[in-house]
Structure 1
Amino acid sequence: MTRSMTAFTRQSLDTDQASLALELRSVNQRYLDVHFRLPESLRDLETPFRERLRERLARGKVECTLRLESSAASDTVAINGERVEQLMAALTQLRSHAPEAAMPDLMALLGYPGVTDDRGPDTDALRRAALELLTAALDDLDAGREREGERLAALIRERLAGIRGQVAEVRAHLPDVLARQRRQILERLETVRAELDPQRLEAEMALLAQKADVAEELDRLETHVVEVERQLQQKGAVGRRLDFLMQELNREANTLSSKAVVTETTRCAVELKVLIEQMREQIQNVE
């Protein structure tokens, strides 16, 4: 199935500790090029993120942005009650020995080791949540790339039908074109026929007719059209193959144009180039 390289997704996940939001944005690129924007506390996720992206995507420039917002509960200062009771008991005992000494204020008590619970967020849990979020985001991005790829394939098939129509039109005119060319050559040489060897004249006319015969170019155009259609039905990345086929189609269209001796063939060759260029623009976004 044809997939586009252009897509966007945004997924979010709330945990007891924080809210996570992940954005994936991809555009066309000749190879896979990934850029990350991660919170400093989760910077070590870049390697597993990159590995998962490589498993799912073959081409495209991908921007991966992860945002982390701590929940109110995780920002609350927790008091270790047991530690505070131990500290107050020690202060009471100390005051019995030094009654003239001033008692420490509350801010000083908060700074005493063990009074506050400063364990911080569970980064392992946050990493697991972020990886889960990436899986959901990749699923959604894949679905978007496939939907866009189907639209691209439909546009390409429309142009393929147009190429088939132009090839059929040239084939229909081909016998008349060759006959008309022969008549034109005979008319031009009528005045000097007496001075030329009849056999040599016939040979030259056959050579000119062979050069103007575009049947082989038409056959190759049809063959390339069939191959493009086959590639559109393949799984995986086919963008590079399609781009190569566009070059081959354009080569045959140029040859057809150079051999054109009547306006009908010239017009068809120009229309072929237009259709091929339109396909090539669409194929730039195919993975």
Structure 2
Amino acid sequence: MTGFATLKGELAPWSWSWDIRSVNARGLDMRIRVPDWIEGLEPAVRKAVSDAVARGNVTVSLRVSRETDEGNVAVNPAALEHAVRMLAEINATAARNGLPLAHVSAAEIASMRGVIDTAQGDADTAPLAKALIADLPGLLAAFNDMRAHEGQALREVIEAQLAELASLVEQAEGLMEARGEAQRETLRAALARVTDNTDGIDADRVEQELALIAVKSDVREELDRLAAHVDQARSLLAGDEPRGRKLDFLMQEFNREANTLCSKAGFQPLTRIGLDLKALIDQMREQVQNIE
């Protein structure tokens, strides 16, 4: 989702500079900073961005300037009067409180907002708006090109992580026979302790309890789901549509299965693999936050 692009243009007497950038976000969050005196520009920008971007915190900024001459620069009498009255009030208040103020020059007054009117608000902005809107496809194409380049590098990282995750699942599957034998030995020892200290034990009841323990400790379903999630993640990465939210959800499912595997392991080598899975899934989750 991270990206950046700029674009400059001009249409006499105007010149401008576009800036678009994005960082990670759960959805699409737009901040549009364009001059409000250009009618219809902000809605057009919002639509163009929403059509081109599915996810991210996107900020679009536009700076517009106009070449001026003596014919379209003038003092705004009302604004000047207001500025002078405001300065007089400030001076009077300062004097009453014994606070000396520096002399204010005419240039400083002229720099106050609205005192000098370039008459840009009275100009027909339709041609300017049309030219600015025409810039949007090129701006967004450059923006998405950068994101795509970064996304390709990120895809390779996640594919490598998925390969490592699949390898851990295979290692866990390879431990099933040894784990089963270790669990049987543990149960036999526990059963021996019980029978040695109990008279008239019900053999059928013991068999039921042993079967229940075996069912509760079975991790085959967790391993199968982890392998299925790997396949699904690879399929999402191979697609062209936005997939960040789906991968976000898949990371939650990965983590859920890894947690269950650790809690049911009951076998130190399998527990180590479960912890390695959790660490790897956390790394993948951080990377997925950058995917649209």
Settle same-fold status: TM greater than 0.5.
yes
Provide the identity percentage: 38
Counterpart secondary structure, 1:143: helix
The residue number in structure 2 matching 1:107 is none
- 1:51 equivalenced with 2:47 (yes/no): yes
Query: Contact conserved, 2:222 with 2:257, CA < 8 A, in 1?
Result: yes
**Equivalent residue for 1:35, pick from 16, 22, 31:** 31
The residue number in structure 1 matching 2:208 is 203
Cα RMSD after superposing both structures: 2.1
Superposition deviation, residue 39 in structure 1: 2.8
Q: TM-score, normalised by structure 2?
A: 0.76
**Equivalent residue for 1:75, pick from 65, 69, 90:** 69
Structure 1 gap ranges (5+): 79-117
Amino acid of the residue matched to residue 57 of structure 2? K
Distance 1:176 1:205 in 2: 18
Provide Cα deviations, 1:29-86, integer angstroms capped at 9, x if missing partner.
Answer: 2222211222344253101111111111122211111111224xx53649xxxxxxxx
Distance 1:230 1:58 in 2: 19
Amino acid of the residue matched to residue 126 of structure 2? D
Counterpart secondary structure, 1:261: coil
The residue number in structure 1 matching 2:222 is 217
Query: Contact conserved, 1:178 with 1:213, CA < 8 A, in 2?
Result: no
Distance 2:160 2:145 in 1: 23
Q: Which has the higher contact order (CA 8 A, sep 6+)?
A: 1
Amino acid of the residue matched to residue 231 of structure 2? V
Q: TM-score, normalised by structure 1?
A: 0.77
Distance 1:45 1:9 in 2: 19
Distance 2:34 2:203 in 1: 83
- 1:61 equivalenced with 2:57 (yes/no): yes
Query: Contact conserved, 1:17 with 1:121, CA < 8 A, in 2?
Result: no
- 1:14 equivalenced with 2:14 (yes/no): no
Superposition deviation, residue 180 in structure 1: 0.9
**Equivalent residue for 2:151, pick from 146, 149, 152:** 149
Count of matched residue pairs: 242
- Between stretches 168-177 and 203-212, larger displacement belongs to 203-212
Provide Cα deviations, 1:75-128, integer angstroms capped at 9, x if missing partner.
Answer: 3649xxxxxxxxxxxxxxxxxxxxxxxxxxxxxxxxxxxxxxx89866333222
Distance 1:10 1:209 in 2: 62
Counterpart secondary structure, 2:21: strand
Query: Contact conserved, 1:22 with 1:65, CA < 8 A, in 2?
Result: yes
* Regions of 4+ moved over 6 Å: none
The residue number in structure 1 matching 2:270 is 265
Counterpart secondary structure, 1:190: helix
Amino acid of the residue matched to residue 273 of structure 2? C
Matched ranges for 1:1-287 at <5 A: 5-42=1-38, 44-71=40-67, 75=69, 77=71, 123-193=125-195, 195=199, 196-287=201-292
